[in-house]
Amino acid sequence: MAFVLEVSMLAALAYAGFRAAPPFTVVAGIGLPFAAIILWGLFFAPRAARRIPWPWLPLASLGLFAASGFLLVAAGQSGLGVAMVVIAFANTVLSFWLRRKD
């Protein structure tokens, strides 16, 4: 589920970026997903040198996924945006629940 959210986040950022105001359409459409890839690689990836520590990692991921969902809502895709936020929240709850069972 997390991988699907990661790919969906990139698609949502690209879609919202290309729906931005006309002078920034291409820059935002390419720049937002690119910035997310850089952030993910630096702080969220399993092999990241500066990976965010455990209790904060799922919460920070939820923040990125939820922001992408809210950008989808702002870009006119309310159903997809709300679904993304709900799935991201469920992923975070499941992550904490599975970690607690260890």
3-state secondary structure of 102: coil
pTM here is 0.92
- pLDDT means over runs of 10, the chain (102 residues): 95 97 94 98 96 95 98 98 98 91 47
What whole-number distance in Å separates Cα of residue 65 and Cα of residue 91? 10
What whole-number distance in Å separates Cα of residue 51 and Cα of residue 74? 30
Q: How many CA atoms lie within 13 A of 40 on its CB side?
A: 18
In the prediction, which pLDDT does 101 show? 55
What whole-number distance in Å separates Cα of residue 102 and Cα of residue 97? 9
3-state secondary structure of 75: coil
All structural domains of the chain with their residue ranges: 2-100
